[in-house]
A and B are shown apart, each in its own frame.
Chain A
Amino acid sequence: MAMTTLAADERAALRDAVNRLLTAKSTEADVRRTMATPQGYDQALWQGLAEMGVTGLIIDPEFGGSGAGPVELEEVMEEAGAALLCSPLFASSVMAASLLDTLGDGAAQARWLPGIADGSLIATVCLTGDQGLWTPDAVAVTATGNTLDGVANYVLHGQNAGLLLVVANTAEGQGVFAVDAKAAGVTVASHKTLDATLRLARIEFKGAAAERIGGRGWEAVDEALDVARVALAGEQAGAAGFLFDMTVNYIRNRYQFGRAIGGFQAIKHMAADLLVEKESCISAARHAARAMAAGADTAGADISLAAFACADSFAKIAFDSIQMHGGIAYTAEYPAHLYLRRARATAFLLGNSNYYRDRYLTLLGA
């Protein structure tokens, strides 16, 4: 990925354009309609994101992308999170695109990145097995030459992907392999999910034909995961901020005992504490993006901090906001639970907070 950062006005324009598109086309009604479809994303909206350059946001212009860096990615993901965007953006345009980038295989990049950039190809990364940890130990696919056997689970949009980038164990550590999702020996099973706005699949490989991409192993995977961590933190920050504002708006306008309930200290104090969470969440995500863009020595630790701080803050805001709303938020019609589902899902999508807390200390040298 380009580590460049757009000029402030260009960045603001990009964010504004994404905001306007999603405000118009990813309304609560759109989200509910889309999450009920088997595919789980709206083709017209996906096309709109492609035309805006968002599907190719972090892809090099050489391959048809916008060439933006982590700072822009984080900002766009804040918008996606706020709108609960249903799309393969994170799976294809972030995870798969950044993995192809870090693997550094020019031929593979030329073959697949243009399709990812214009949205015509959906790619995804198969990493963890049934264990559900995004670590080398959890890889449960084995490569024998160019043949894959084993299981990948929690694969984002696995059921929609044309290209699978499979992390597999080889005789010399991990390697990454390209597999056609329609190839013989590949069985994709869709999961029913806690968060209906996400699509997750379990994929079995039985003698599936594969091509090794580049020569790098886990290091390249971890570098790509850093990009994904920044993006996911941004998504969490955006969603947390939106839900917080919605909740404050509610407690200002909901009257009981002749007063707005936000006037009661029991509620007011929860809101003050959640404001600390919201702002910390935004600060952590943006700082991680900036550190990465600057190639700072602390970037690894900053990204780990964002990974657990944003997951935890979003989850706290999501849980507490339902409580602060009261009965209305216990109804399925009210959108608060959609955010709680997203908070729970994203908190385990690339590992978990305990893992990232430990990793934070490790990267600080402890």
Chain B
Amino acid sequence: MNAEQLQAMTDDQLRTKVRAWLAAHWHNQCSTPASSWDTPAPEYCAWLKEVLDAGWAVPSWPAAWFGLGLSTDQSKIVSEEFRKVKAPGSGQDRSHLAANTLLTFGTDSLKRELIPKLLCAEMKTCLLYSEPGAGSDLAAVRTRADRNGDQWVVNGQKVWTSGATTADYGLLVARTDWDKPKHSGITFFFCPMKQKGIEIRPIHQITGESHFNEVFIDNAVIPAENQLGPLNGGWKVLQTALAYERLVMAEGAADRRSGVATTKDLITLAREYGRLEDPLIRQEIANAMAYRRLNDLNMVRAKEDMVQGGSSPLMSLGKLAMSRILHTEARVKTLILGAQSLLDGDEFPDAQDTNFRTFNSYMNSIGGGTDQIQRNIIGERVLGLPKEIELDRDIPFRESKSG
């Protein structure tokens, strides 16, 4: 199909075109893996390859780079049509963090080699950002990368890495200049994970799960070509990636969970436990439901704002609002269950679910930037309040106190 023809189409023409393509190619030949960390079935990868070859995987990317040069709105139309028939693989121009980062900052040969594998789920990535001494203050990373010929040699420790055991590459931030101030001495790399310098240990979470890992890096090697963005320019690359992560969390992705039976809404739970007539419980349920509904309405407004052009300050509120929603819902469920919330195990699925949520809510209010950091961001970037004072902002990093 000719990209220019598609670009010039009306929305309806484009819709028709996508529908026709799907009708000819999509026969429910695969299902989407339950978790992006699972090894995908061959037929799933084969389908993604078809989608990629047709340009539908990343429609808003340039035609020279796997896309069709469509506008963002056109790309959304393509995604909608895919969603309608439950066909996976489209919309990765918005959803695939690693591929997008690579497209923007990678060298041509790296893009040519890796992006198709990423978009076909043949290759997985993980995030090597946080460290024991660099959580909220991510610019304080101490993992070091030292240049040795046409390679980088990396040493240090990363934490909170999901999918480290199955990942082929890690998106890594490492310090490359210790004499520059902390934001100015970091470089971003695409780090091969399957090598002997990388050791992975699971973290046991308060939920009882182990989604995250510690990654110990001992003389791991990265080809020089796998540097993304300029030397010591990694902070800017990271900001692009982090903004995306917050967006995903705002839309409730942190609410996803595993291993526990299907959850019940507050009204159903209260009805089952005979608490729906309790006026105090009703007040609590109404408040909790209102928080969620109001956030949904705010997100609808945010999207309307964005359709009319530009970004919306509302978008940055979603993650903070989601923390209140999740913590409140868990608390109200606990109130409904009463003493049964003291119990656990498969015999008591409601208690199990509720208690899981009580702990899992912190995934949203700490992960991807704590609520407190999020309030700083809203205060500074949305409301224009003065930035926090950083005592080590302008001094050589080697003189900075952190940890």
B99 to chain A, nearest CB (A): 32
Chain A neighbourhood of B201, CB < 8 A: none
- Whether a CB of chain A sits under 8 angstroms from the CB of B85 is no
> Of B271, B286, B372, which is within 8 A of A357 by CB?
B286
A262 near B282: Cβ-Cβ < 8 Å: no
- Whether a CB of chain B sits under 8 angstroms from the CB of A358 is yes
- Whether a CB of chain A sits under 8 angstroms from the CB of B383 is yes
A321 to chain B, nearest CB (A): 13
Q: Which of these binds chain A: B75-83, B241-249, B293-301?
A: B293-301
B294 near A268: Cβ-Cβ < 8 Å: no
- Whether a CB of chain A sits under 8 angstroms from the CB of B41 is no
> Of B279, B283, B298, B375, which is within 8 A of A273 by CB?
B375
Chain A neighbourhood of B375, CB < 8 A: 265, 268-269, 272-273
Mark interface residues in B322-344 (1 if CB within 8 Å of A CB, else 0): 00100000000000000000000
B320 to chain A, nearest CB (A): 6
A358 near B297: Cβ-Cβ < 8 Å: no
Mark interface residues in A246-262 (1 if CB within 8 Å of B CB, else 0): 00100110000001101
Q: Give residues of chain A (309-366) contacting chain B, Cβ–Cβ below 8 Å.
A: 309, 354, 357-358, 360-361, 364-366
Q: Give residues of chain A (267-293) contacting chain B, Cβ–Cβ below 8 Å.
A: 268-269, 271-273, 275-276, 279-280, 282-284, 286-287
B298 near A268: Cβ-Cβ < 8 Å: no
A305 near B290: Cβ-Cβ < 8 Å: yes
Q: Which of these binds chain A: B51-59, B118-126, B384-392?
A: B384-392
> Of A272, A308, A357, which is within 8 A of B383 by CB?
A272
A269 near B372: Cβ-Cβ < 8 Å: yes
- Whether a CB of chain B sits under 8 angstroms from the CB of A263 is yes
B184 to chain A, nearest CB (A): 23
B283 near A358: Cβ-Cβ < 8 Å: yes
> Of A265, A287, A357, A366, which is within 8 A of B388 by CB?
A265
- Whether a CB of chain A sits under 8 angstroms from the CB of B252 is no
- Whether a CB of chain A sits under 8 angstroms from the CB of B379 is yes
> Of A272, A284, A287, A364, which is within 8 A of B379 by CB?
A272
Chain B neighbourhood of A269, CB < 8 A: 372, 375-376, 379
Q: A364 vs B288: C-alpha distance in the bound complex, in angstroms?
A: 14
A6 to chain B, nearest CB (A): 18
- Whether a CB of chain A sits under 8 angstroms from the CB of B228 is no
A251 near B285: Cβ-Cβ < 8 Å: no
A305 near B293: Cβ-Cβ < 8 Å: yes
- Whether a CB of chain A sits under 8 angstroms from the CB of B314 is yes
- Shortest Cβ distance from A366 into B: residue: B267
A275 near B294: Cβ-Cβ < 8 Å: no
| Interface-central residue, B267, B375, B385, by most chain A CB under 10 Å | B385
- Whether a CB of chain A sits under 8 angstroms from the CB of B154 is no
Chain B neighbourhood of A282, CB < 8 A: 301
B298 near A283: Cβ-Cβ < 8 Å: yes
Q: A159 vs B36: C-alpha distance in the bound complex, in angstroms?
A: 68
Q: A354 vs B285: C-alpha distance in the bound complex, in angstroms?
A: 12
Chain B neighbourhood of A251, CB < 8 A: 385
Chain A neighbourhood of B376, CB < 8 A: 265, 268-269, 272
Chain B neighbourhood of A275, CB < 8 A: 313, 317, 378, 382-383
Chain B neighbourhood of A308, CB < 8 A: 286, 290
B267 near A357: Cβ-Cβ < 8 Å: no
A262 to chain B, nearest CB (A): 4
- Shortest Cβ distance from B287 into A: residue: A357
A212 to chain B, nearest CB (A): 36
| Interface-central residue, B286, B295, B298, B300, by most chain A CB under 10 Å | B286
Chain A neighbourhood of B143, CB < 8 A: none
Q: A260 vs B380: C-alpha distance in the bound complex, in angstroms?
A: 12
- Shortest Cβ distance from B378 into A: residue: A272
- Shortest Cβ distance from B317 into A: residue: A276
Chain A neighbourhood of B271, CB < 8 A: 366
Chain A neighbourhood of B130, CB < 8 A: none
Q: A365 vs B388: C-alpha distance in the bound complex, in angstroms?
A: 47
Q: A85 vs B378: C-alpha distance in the bound complex, in angstroms?
A: 31
Chain B neighbourhood of A358, CB < 8 A: 279, 282-283, 286
Chain A neighbourhood of B98, CB < 8 A: none
Chain B neighbourhood of A354, CB < 8 A: 283
Mark interface residues in B359-403 (1 if CB within 8 Å of A CB, else 0): 000000000000010111011101111111100000000000000
Chain B neighbourhood of A260, CB < 8 A: 385-386
Q: A260 vs B385: C-alpha distance in the bound complex, in angstroms?
A: 8
Chain B neighbourhood of A265, CB < 8 A: 372, 375-376, 388
Q: Give residues of chain B (268-285) contacting chain A, Cβ–Cβ below 8 Å.
A: 270-271, 276, 279, 282-283, 285
Q: A365 vs B301: C-alpha distance in the bound complex, in angstroms?
A: 26
Q: Give residues of chain B (5-49) contacting chain A, Cβ–Cβ below 8 Å.
A: none
| Interface-central residue, A263, A271, A287, A361, by most chain B CB under 10 Å | A361
A127 to chain B, nearest CB (A): 24
- Whether a CB of chain A sits under 8 angstroms from the CB of B139 is no
Q: A55 vs B259: C-alpha distance in the bound complex, in angstroms?
A: 59
Q: A366 vs B287: C-alpha distance in the bound complex, in angstroms?
A: 14
A99 to chain B, nearest CB (A): 27
Given contacts A279-B314, A358-B283, contact A284 B384 (CB under 8 A): no
B385 near A252: Cβ-Cβ < 8 Å: yes
B271 to chain A, nearest CB (A): 7
B297 near A280: Cβ-Cβ < 8 Å: yes
A25 to chain B, nearest CB (A): 30
B313 to chain A, nearest CB (A): 8
Please give 15 more A-B residue pairs, beta carbons under 8 A apart, in addition to A357-B283, A366-B267: A248-B385, A263-B389, A265-B375, A268-B375, A269-B376, A272-B378, A275-B313, A279-B298, A283-B294, A283-B298, A308-B290, A358-B283, A361-B282, A364-B289, A366-B282
Q: What are 15 A-B contacts defined by CB distance under 8 Å?
A: A263-B385, A265-B375, A269-B372, A269-B375, A269-B376, A272-B383, A276-B320, A283-B301, A284-B297, A287-B300, A360-B289, A360-B290, A361-B282, A361-B285, A361-B289
Question: What 3 A-B pairs come out closest when comparing CB atoms?
Answer: A263-B386, A357-B286, A268-B379
